Amino acid sequence: MTIRKILTEPDPFLRQKSTKVEKVDDNIRKLMDDMLETMYEAPGIGLAAIQIGVPKRVIVMDLAKDEKKSPLYFVNPEIILKSQNNSAYEEGCLSVPGQFAEINRPEKCHIKYLDYRGESKELKAEGLLATCIQHEIDHLEGILFIDYLSKLKKSMIVKKLSKEKKSLERIVV
């Protein structure tokens, strides 16, 4: 398994729409293994393939609070039902480092996806699981949580991240 670099805003790659996986083969499983290791190392509770520069509809997650790992793998996830009522959750994103904001999303959702073995599955999600799945599926469409903020708040965050990136580049070069 390999730890891969996580892309951060502003990076045009993060705005790309990811494409459907035709078949869950060993290459896709290797991608999921790398994503999981990268996510644990970050650390984060979810990661979409586009965040490591691969525009495929693949997501990994692990919401376990204790030491015991319980990885979740989602290939070609689709939301098949959303609850009418929303709930707010303080969100963060590995591609938007150091920034957090309350985001409103449907409280519950049902999704359909392929698992690690390529088998078709359905899942009823609520709470943090529902929030995280919707956050990750947004990544597959090129959407970041800061897109839901006011223009002003979003532009302040993007400006800050651009500055941080520029000063980092200066050190690296």
Enzyme catalytic residues = 136
The number of residues that bind ligand GNR (CB under 6 A) is 17
- Token code pair at residue 107: 């409280």
167: Cβ–Cβ under 8 A, 6 or more apart, which residues?
Answer: none
106 binds, among Ni ion, ligand GNR, none (CB under 5 to 8 A by kind): none
φ/ψ of 163, rounded to 5, equals -60, -45
Q: Does 136 bind ligand GNR (CB under 6 A)?
A: yes
Binder of ligand GNR out of 9, 28, 34, 46 (CB under 6 A): 46
28 vs 94, which CB is nearer to ligand GNR? 94
C-beta separation of 17 from 54 below 8 A: no
Q: Given the rule CB under 6 A, which of 11-19, 70-78, 106-114, 127-135 is the region that contacts ligand GNR?
A: 127-135
* Nearest distance, CB of residue 149 and ligand GNR, angstroms: 14
Determine the length of the chain. 173
67 vs 90, which CB is nearer to ligand GNR? 90
Q: What is the DSSP string of 75-139?
A: EEEEEEEE-SSEEEEEE--TTSTT--EEEEEESEEEEEEE-TTS-EEEEEEEHHHHHHHHHHHHH
Q: Does 59 bind Ni ion (CB under 5 A)?
A: no
- Token code pair at residue 80: 């098949």
Which residues bind to Ni ion, rule: CB under 5 A?
Answer: 93
Which residues bind to ligand GNR, rule: CB under 6 A?
Answer: 44-48, 51, 89, 91-95, 131-132, 135-136, 139
